[in-house]
A and B are shown apart, each in its own frame.
Chain A
């Protein structure tokens, strides 16, 4: 008999053992002196428009943080800065206390242990599900090593394990392009897990998901926090409420409010920003 999703998740998150993909990679990231991610006075503007304006943000090691904010608040730009896609005009961005993110490019940052999930599910559509996971697996990324790379037993087991976690075991040989929208979201999360990141940046993970899929995602996010730091950007208030411990509200490129979901939702400034927006009713509903 097959396990239900909940059972599978419980099995995957047994407290008495640490799955190897969750264990920190041999990362030199230094978090002894505090946070894993530290943004200070970061500003960036595009053609005079200030997308990020004096943003300060600190994420602790193992924390699960939700970031909400109206459209154009700078959520995606912030992720672009952290992952090296966009260079800020001013400010500092540190990973642990040792790595200056502003001096590194995307592959360096990725290999250091920051994984990113895009808003629109981005998987390699011409490759099978298992090949997608294989490419994301930690390993030597140099050209020659990649050319000669063979999938060993350990790697195959890890792929099986992750496929089990994201519920795509039955689809292993299907092309990623024919998966449903929700399955693509999960596959992308699975690819992140293959990377064994220390910090996961997740942009709208439940967009386009069905209710049960959303619940599974919420459970997965909650379990991941603790072993990894997770930053979730999300519009869906129900989802945020179900996973959030600390919520940061962004508006016009800087932090408007920070605190527990209740604190934030009752903050008059937050209510004002959301008034008139689609999310306004959501916030009040939840309050």
Chain B
């Protein structure tokens, strides 16, 4: 097989992976909804708490997608994406608490859903805009950028811990009752939030796919591999980075906003540097620069986490660390890379 046909196959594989991912997502979502609708005594019935757990996984998958967009395609390793996720979450949290008892007078404005919805996207977007503008303009790259993103999320964690912020201090925001006038405790709300998260993942996946397949996406990959060359052919690299970074932060914000009503709380621990690092592990494990790899990685790692923290809570961090080491050493392309290699081998054999 010549390399030319291999390249064509690769782009076909790419298209096929988009189809497969979309179909798996849609079928999976429908299956969950149908299984939930079965009568409770049925053996295959999924109860509301499982649906909510799956909904939470979906928001993590959305966050992983955001990280893969900038890490996989632009080569920017953000170790602070949890900050954007948390900001989106806090915007949702403020909306939910403002329904009954806002913690500060200014928060009453957050009781209007359109205002809150705007804040879920704009708060992380603006932070990414200012932070990214400063960092990319000064050409901060590589490990230095990663370190300052850690500092960013750590600083925000300290800030949100302060009671003077009127964000609930270390307890965060909790005791939510209603979303858009519907009780959060109801089973149908669990399903609605699950479906909303699934639709958000699907739309974000298609959106990211469109961006990465555009000429801009190729400029991103070119920047990842040879930044100076991109500058010398006339692209303003810092603008490209900033635009994609802001887009990624907004997706992370939406993920956070969908996460909060499903888990019922948002507190400063979401800003913890460790959480952001965990997200990177999901993407590394699933496979960078494929998008579906990020979705897969987030799902698998979080499912494992749920399983293991139930059985052996202390072992989880060791397993996570071990996974990261194994993936970095033996599977640099992650699970997605293994899948692609297997498929290629099968095609060569056929």
Name A122's contact: one of B4, B228, B239, B243 (CB within 8 Å). Answer: B228
A175 & B7 in contact (Cβ 8 Å cutoff): yes
Expressed in whole angstroms, the Cα–Cα distance for A173 and B158 within the complex equals 51
Which of B98-106, B217-225, B329-337 participates in binding chain A?
B217-225
* Interface window among B89-97, B208-216, B319-327: B208-216
Q: Which residue of A lies closest to B234 (CB)?
A: A110
- B1 contacts A by Cβ under 8 Å: no
Question: Is chain A's interface secondary structure helix, strand, loop, or mixed overall?
Answer: mixed
Contact flags (1/0) for A116-151 with B, using CB distance below 8 Å? 101000111111100100111000011100111101
Q: How far is the CA of A173 from the CA of B232 in the complex (A)?
A: 24
Whether A146 lies near B214 (C-beta < 8 A) is: yes
Q: Could you tell me which residues of chain B, from 237 to 282, have a CB within 8 Å of some CB in chain A?
A: 237, 239-240, 243
Number of A-B residue pairs with CB-CB distance less than 8 Å in the complex they form: 89
* B8 interfacial contact with A, CB 8 Å: yes
Interface contact A143-B239, CB-CB below 8 Å? yes
Report the minimal beta-carbon distance from B319 to chain A, rounded to whole angstroms: 32
- Would you call B231 an interface residue if the criterion is a C-beta within 8 Å of the partner chain's C-beta atoms? yes
Q: Which residues of A contact B219 (CB under 8 A)?
A: 135, 146
Q: How far is the CA of A71 from the CA of B92 in the complex (A)?
A: 61
The main secondary structure of chain B at its interface with chain A is helix
Tell whether, in the assembled complex, residue A141 and residue B236 are in contact, meaning their CB atoms are under 8 Å apart: yes
Complex CA distance for A106 and B218, rounded to whole angstroms: 20
Q: How far is the CA of A106 from the CA of B233 in the complex (A)?
A: 9
Number of interface residues of A (CB under 8 A): 35
Which B residues lie within 8 Å of A223 (CB)?
none
Expressed in whole angstroms, the Cα–Cα distance for A82 and B135 within the complex equals: 25
Which residue on B lies nearest to A151, using beta carbons? B215
Q: Contact between A147 and B216 (Cβ–Cβ < 8 Å)?
A: yes
- Give complex CA distance A195, B228 in Å: 16
CB neighbours (8 Å) of B216 from chain A are 143, 146-147, 149
> Residues of A contacting B239 with CB < 8 Å?
142-143
Interface pair A171/B243, CB less than 8 Å apart: no
* Contact (A122, B3) CB under 8 Å given A134-B215, A135-B233, A148-B214: no
A194-236 interface (Cβ within 8 A of B): 195
Contact B232 A123 (CB under 8 A): no
B222, A124: Cβ atoms closer than 8 Å: yes
- State how many angstroms separate the Cβ of B193 from the closest Cβ of chain A: 31
B303 within 8 A of A: no
CA distance A171 to B2 in the complex (A): 11
Instruction: Please name all residues of chain A whose beta carbon is closer than 8 Å to the beta carbon of B343 when the two chains form the complex.
Output: none
Q: How far is the CB of B298 from chain A (nearest CB, A)?
A: 24
* Contact A111 to B7, CB < 8 A, known contacts A124-B225, A148-B214: no
Restricting to B1-15, which residues have a CB under 8 Å from any CB of A?
A: 3-4, 7-8
| B243–A128 CB distance below 8 A | no
Query: A135 near B215 (CB under 8 angstroms)?
Result: yes
Decide if B221 touches A107 in the complex (CB within 8 Å). no
Contact of A126 with B231 at beta-carbon distance under 8 Å, contacts A147-B214, A173-B4, A173-B7 already known = no
Contact across chains for A147 and B236 when beta carbons are under 8 A apart: no
Q: Is A115 an interface residue (CB 8 A)?
A: yes
With contacts A174-B4, A175-B7 taken as known, whether A110 is within 8 angstroms of B232 at the C-beta atoms is: yes
Please measure, in the bound complex, the distance between the C-alpha atom of A115 and the C-alpha atom of B231, giving whole angstroms: 11
Asked whether any CB of chain A lies closer than 8 Å to the CB of B312, the reply is no
When the two chains form the complex, which single residue of B8, B221, B234, B243 contacts A141, counting CB atoms closer than 8 Å?
B234
19 contacts between A and B (CB under 8 A): A85-B228, A110-B231, A111-B234, A115-B232, A116-B232, A124-B225, A126-B221, A126-B224, A134-B218, A135-B215, A135-B218, A135-B230, A142-B239, A143-B240, A147-B211, A147-B215, A173-B7, A174-B3, A175-B7
12 extra interface residue pairs, beta carbon distance < 8 Å, beyond A116-B232, A147-B214, A149-B214: A122-B229, A123-B229, A128-B7, A134-B218, A135-B218, A141-B236, A142-B239, A143-B239, A146-B240, A147-B211, A149-B215, A173-B7
The 3 closest A-B pairs by CB, nearest first: A110-B234, A106-B231, A147-B216
